[in-house]
Amino acid sequence: MSENPFEDVTFIKIMKGILDFSGQNKNAICSAMGLVDKETDPVPYYTLDCALCYLTYMEIKEEHHELRGVLKKLVQRTQKNLAIMEEANKEK
């Protein structure tokens, strides 16, 4: 997966929905992640991790131009999450 998910319209809509539901609250997202067993139900866990990455990505992009190198790492982490979710769906 080479495309930047943070530029994908569908991905952005899903992430914004999750972030709106959580009130843009990183602690709420992390708490929800803690309630999900990523081994038995990886899609919800990694979806929340993607939302956390997206929120962090947008904060850095808008406010901290000196941290742009971190943006690439967030893209890579999110791409990995999406690949894990895709593989988990194939196994079902």
Residue 77 to residue 92: CA distance in whole angstroms: 23
Q: Report the range of poorest mean pLDDT among 11-20, 45-54, 57-66.
A: 57-66
Domain that holds residue 85: 5-91
Does residue 2 surpass a pLDDT of 60?
A: no
Say what the pTM is.
0.74
Does residue 67 surpass a pLDDT of 60?
A: yes
pLDDT of residue 34: 95
Residue 22 to residue 10: CA distance in whole angstroms: 19
Q: How many domains does the chain have?
A: 1
Largest CA distance in the chain: 42
Amino acid at 28: A
pLDDT of residue 59: 86
Q: Mind listing the pLDDT tens digit for each residue in 11-39?
A: 999 999 999 999 999 999 999 999 999 99
